[in-house]
Homo-oligomer: A and B are copies of this chain.
Amino acid sequence: MSSKGKATSFDIAYEAGVSQSTVSRALSGSSLVSLDTRRKIQAIAKQLNYKVDKNASCLRRQHSVTLALLLFEDPTPDDSLINPFFLSMLGSITRACARQGYDLLISFQQFSNDWHADYQDSHKADGLILLGYGDYLVARSTLQKLVEQNTHFVRWGAVVEGQPGISVGCDNLSGGRAITEHLLGLGRRRIAFVGSIGEQCPEFRDRYLGYCAAHEAAGIKVDPALQVDALDSTEQVGHQALANLLERGITVDGVFAASDLLAIGATNALREAGFEAPQQVSVVGFDDLPMASYASLPLTTVQQDTKLAGEVLVEKLLQQIRGEAVESVMLPAKVIVRRSCGARALP
């Protein structure tokens, strides 16, 4: 072994009295090498604490066995704040990668900037996972570019018709419908919808479409005045949105916020305006963040299965990398009943 620095396959070859090619074969478990020499080489490798140089190996094989996760979030005053929803997805993605033997590179991107998405071009990663909301119309053109550059990627988000690349998302429409039906079943008739419904945010729009579908199915006319815009999923925005609605003199006996964070803000606005939730007004959200159950008023919400989502995301990306045909997939959404809707008696 060379006096200092890492051992190379040549060092092992020397020790074992074989050629370097044989070492490389033995270490990759090739059955071409006799069991005896294979074992001998493996023992020496272990003793020398040899590790294959990934740069050399990847350069030669032309793939990196690494995936890159791009998290989009525009900067907040507090740097460290990440949307808790993506955070739980991150955990699942990391584990799924590990299970498949892939490493995971992670990078924060700002929607406003040009994406720094050259991981595949620079051979640092074999594919991209895109996470984070933002204006879909803006993102779309970049997605299109990625497709043209032949970049392997999957994104988390609404599955919309004719979209560039493939997406994994939750069934926002069914989820929105199910939770609205729940509210309707509770006898609520004036349910506010907090969330933008424009094209920039297809997931919110689908949730609203579910809201409308539930109303129609129940033979109740949707009152457009009950919908308020809210684009960013933050407590502040939710607070503001519902406060605006109430100021307009709109009466309300239910609130369906397009995300949990919006719901928490809306609940606060309600309280400030003198309404008691859930007695006077039922409140529900969407996402099922960890804090939804910890909130002072445990939140009834629609759960997105982040564990499954992460697994499916890496599975789809890997299929794509292997050259298989892949389609977008929609994951089920599930209503979680807690106290904020008033369905359960207070303890």
- The interface of chain A, by Cβ under 8 A from chain B, is 6, 49, 51-56, 58-59, 64, 66, 71, 78-82, 84, 87-92, 94-95, 98, 103-108, 118, 121-124, 149, 264, 290-291, 294-296, 306-307, 310
A246 to B6, CA, bound (A): 57
A306 to B78, CA, bound (A): 10
Q: Is the CB of B104 within 8 A of A79?
A: no
Number of copies: 2
B residues less than 8 Å from A307 (CB atoms): 78-80
B residues less than 8 Å from A91 (CB atoms): 79-82, 108
A118 nearest CB neighbor, chain B only = B51
B residues less than 8 Å from A90 (CB atoms): 82, 87, 90
B residues less than 8 Å from A80 (CB atoms): 88-89, 91-92, 95, 306-307, 310
Q: Is the CB of A82 within 8 A of B78?
A: no
Q: List 11 A-B contacts (CB under 8 A).
A: A6-B123, A54-B55, A81-B88, A82-B87, A94-B106, A94-B107, A98-B107, A105-B106, A106-B106, A264-B294, A294-B294
CB distance from A266 to the nearest CB of B (A): 14
Given contacts A6-B121, A80-B92, A294-B296, 14 further A-B contacts (CB under 8 A): A51-B122, A55-B123, A66-B105, A71-B94, A78-B307, A80-B91, A82-B90, A94-B107, A94-B108, A103-B124, A104-B105, A104-B106, A294-B294, A295-B296
Q: Is the CB of B54 within 8 A of A122?
A: yes
B residues less than 8 Å from A104 (CB atoms): 105-107
B residues less than 8 Å from A84 (CB atoms): 84, 87, 290
A92 to B51, CA, bound (A): 30
Q: Is the CB of A49 within 8 A of B294?
A: no
Q: Within the complex, which residue of B49, B55, B71 is in contact with A55, where a contact is CB–CB below 8 Å?
A: B55
A92 nearest CB neighbor, chain B only = B80
CB distance from A85 to the nearest CB of B (A): 11
Q: Within the complex, which residue of B81, B123, B296 is in contact with A54, where a contact is CB–CB below 8 Å?
A: B123
B residues less than 8 Å from A51 (CB atoms): 118, 121-122
Q: Is the CB of B54 within 8 A of A56?
A: no
Q: Within the complex, which residue of B79, B92, B122, B149 is in contact with A92, where a contact is CB–CB below 8 Å?
A: B79
CB distance from A4 to the nearest CB of B (A): 10
B residues less than 8 Å from A121 (CB atoms): 6, 49, 51
A90 to B307, CA, bound (A): 19
